Structure 1
Amino acid sequence: MLKRTFALISLGILTFQATYAQKAITLQQNFQPGKKYGYAMSYDQNIGQNIMGQDITMKQLMKIDYSFDITTASAPDKNVKVTYNKIYSLSDAMGATSEYDSEKDNGTENNPLSALKGASFNMVITPKGDVKSVSGVDKMLDAMAQKSSKDSATTATIKDALNKQFGSEAVKASMEAALKIYPEKPIKQGESWVVETELKNILPLKMKTTYTLKEVKENKAFVGVVGTISAVGPVEVMGFTMQTNLSGTNNGDMIIDIKSGLALNSDMKINIGGTMSAMGQDIKMKIDGQNKIAGKEL
C-alpha cells in the first residue's frame, strides 16, 4: 500500500512537470515605467588579416555599461532614457596599443569616448524589441567630436567618422540587435523562432538568428542561440570604398527573465571569415569574438 502511494505521488509529480514543460510562455519586452534596468555589454574581438602575404593581427575590446530608465509608456511601446555609465576600450594592432577607461578619466582625456560617460539619448521600443526611434544622439556626437579637437573643420570631419559607429542609425541598429530577441507568439519548451536584424556599423552586418527555448525554471527562460552573419557589399573605410564578402556564425546561450523580458545573461561566440577588396587587392579576413550581455533591475 505504501509503495503504491509513493508511486502515485511520483506519477503526479512527473505529470505536473510534463504539463508545465508544455505550457506556452510569452517572451516579450515588458519593462515597467518608473523602473530602472542595467545592461553591461562586452564585445571582444581578435581580427586576423592577410595583406599582400603579410599577416596582421588586431585585438579590439569594448565594454559599455548602460542604464535604462523607463520614463513613460504609450501602450504597447515604452519610452526609455539610455545613459552611458562606464566605457572601456582597448585596441592593439601592430604593436600600437590604445586604451581608454572612463573610471580613470579625470576630465582631461583628449578622447571622443570621454564625452560618453553620463551622456544620454532616448529611444522607443516595442514589446518585440524593435527600436522604433532614437533621439538626442546628435548632441552626444557634437560633444564627442569637440573632445577630439577645437578646430571646427576638424571637428566636422571627426563627427562624420563617429557617426558611422555612434550616430542615430548605428545606435538604433546596435540596440535593436541586443533587444530584438523575442518570438512573435507564445512559445513552448523545445520550440524555436527566427529573428532577422541588420547592424549598420563600420560593416553592414546582416544576422539571421534561431532561438530555441530549452528550459523554463524559476521564472527564467533558458534559450539556445544559433545564427548566421553576413556582410556583402560596399563599405567606406578611412575614405576608401571596399567591397566586403564575409560570412560566419553567431552561437551561444542566453537567460531571459520571463516577467520583464530582460536578458539576464547572454554569451555568444562569433566566427567570421572572408575577404575585403579595394583597388584590385584582396584582404583575407578572419574574426573570432565573444559578445556578452548581463542585465539586471537596478
Structure 2
Amino acid sequence: MSLKLENGKVYRQITNSKLNISQEVNGQTMNMAMTISGTMTFLVKAIDGNGFDMDTKFEKLSMSMQMPQATMEFNSEKKDENDVFSNILGAMIGKTFLVTMTKTGKVTEIKNVEALWGTAINQFDQLSDRHREQIKGQIMQSYGAAALKGNLEMVTAIYPDQPVGIGEKWAINTKLESGMPAIMNTNYELVDLTSDYGLIRGNSTIKTADKDAYIEANGMPMKYDLTGSVKSEIKVDKNTGWTMEAKINQEIKGDAYIKANPQIPGGMKIPMTMTTEMAVTN
C-alpha cells in the first residue's frame, strides 16, 4: 500500500484535536483544555518518481483554550474587529502554500506557510512588535511548517517501503515538532483490507528528542523530559491511500524545566501530563 494520488485532484483533511494538560506548579495542580480544529485541501499539481507537489490551503481554522482564569475561543469565520487572533486566522483562509509528500506519506517540504502567517499578522497595525511576535510564536506551535509536518505525518507517513498483506507489521520513525521536538517510533499492522479501504493500526512510543535542549516558551527558556505512548487506527482509501478516517490517542508524562531567569531566579521543575484525542476525516 502507498499513496496513489491523481494529478489535478483535490484531497481534503478535516482534523479535530482535544488536548488536556495537567501541570503541578508550586504544589498546585493547574489544568488546561485546548481544542484545535482545521480543514485543509491539497490540490495535486505535479507527480514524479519521488511523490507529489500539492497546493495546500486552509479552509477553516479554530482554536479554544479553557484555563482556570479564563476561556478563549478563536475562529477564522468569526467577524469581530476586536478579535485580532480570529481575524489573523481568517486572513490565512484560501492562501496557497506548497506541501511535497513522498508516496509513503513522508512530508519532505512545506514551503511559504510561515511567510504567509507573517503577512497575515503584520497587516494588523494595532499590534505592538512584542505582541506580534508573541502571536506568531503561538501560531507556529500549531500551524508552522514543523508543526504541520508532524501533524500530517501522523496520518500519512504510515506506509511501508514494500507491499504487505493482512497481519504483517512494519516500523516507521517520525519527528514531531509541535511545541517541543519529539521522536515517535511506531509499529504498524495491516489489520483489514476490503474492496474499499485498508485498516491500519499503530502502537507508538514517543519521547523528547533532546531532553537537554532549551526552547523558548512564553518568553522563557524551557526544556522537556517526557515519554509516552500513542495508539492509532487509520482507515485509508484502497485506491488512493488517502486517509478516510483516523483516531489517534496519545498520553505523555514527565517534567518541564524552566531555566533560571530574572523572573524565576532558581528555575523551576513542573511535573506534567498531556493527553490528546485526535480525529481525522476527509
With the length of structure 2 as denominator, give the TM-score of the two structures.
Answer: 0.88
Which residue pairs with 2:60 in the alignment?
86
1:33–1:71: 8 Å Cα contact kept in structure 2? Answer: yes
TM superposition shift of 1:158: 3.9
CA 1:281–1:209 in 2, change beyond 3 Å: closer, same or farther?
Answer: same
| Per-residue deviation, residues 207-259 of structure 1 (Å, max 9, x unmatched) | 11111111111231112111111123433212211221111111131111121
Q: Counterparts in 2 of 1:117-266, with a 5 A limit?
A: 117-146=93-122, 149-150=125-126, 153-154=129-130, 157-158=133-134, 161=137, 162-231=139-208, 232-233=211-212, 234-266=214-246
Which shows bigger deviation, 156-165 or 33-42?
Answer: 156-165
1:115–1:144: 8 Å Cα contact kept in structure 2? Answer: yes
Structure 2: state its 5+ residue gaps.
261-266
CA 1:174–1:109 in 2, change beyond 3 Å: closer, same or farther?
Answer: same
Identity %: 22
TM superposition shift of 1:102: 2.3
Q: CA RMSD in A?
A: 2.1
Instruction: Say which one has the larger Rg.
Output: 1
Q: Distance in 1 between matches of 2:177 and 2:281?
A: 23
Q: SS state of the match for residue 4, structure 2?
A: coil
Structure 1: state its 5+ residue gaps.
1-26
| Per-residue deviation, residues 89-115 of structure 1 (Å, max 9, x unmatched) | 110111311101223336764113232
Say which structure is richer in helix.
Answer: 1
| Per-residue deviation, residues 44-98 of structure 1 (Å, max 9, x unmatched) | 1111111111010000000000111112222342110111001121101113111
Give the length in aligned residue pairs.
269
Q: Distance in 1 between matches of 2:37 and 2:215?
A: 25
CA 1:131–1:94 in 2, change beyond 3 Å: closer, same or farther?
Answer: same
Which shows bigger deviation, 219-228 or 101-110?
Answer: 101-110
Instruction: Say yes or no: does 1:33 pair with 2:30.
Output: no
Q: Counterparts in 2 of 1:56-75, with a 5 A limit?
A: 56-75=30-49
With the length of structure 1 as denominator, give the TM-score of the two structures.
Answer: 0.83
Q: Distance in 1 between matches of 2:78 and 2:129?
A: 30
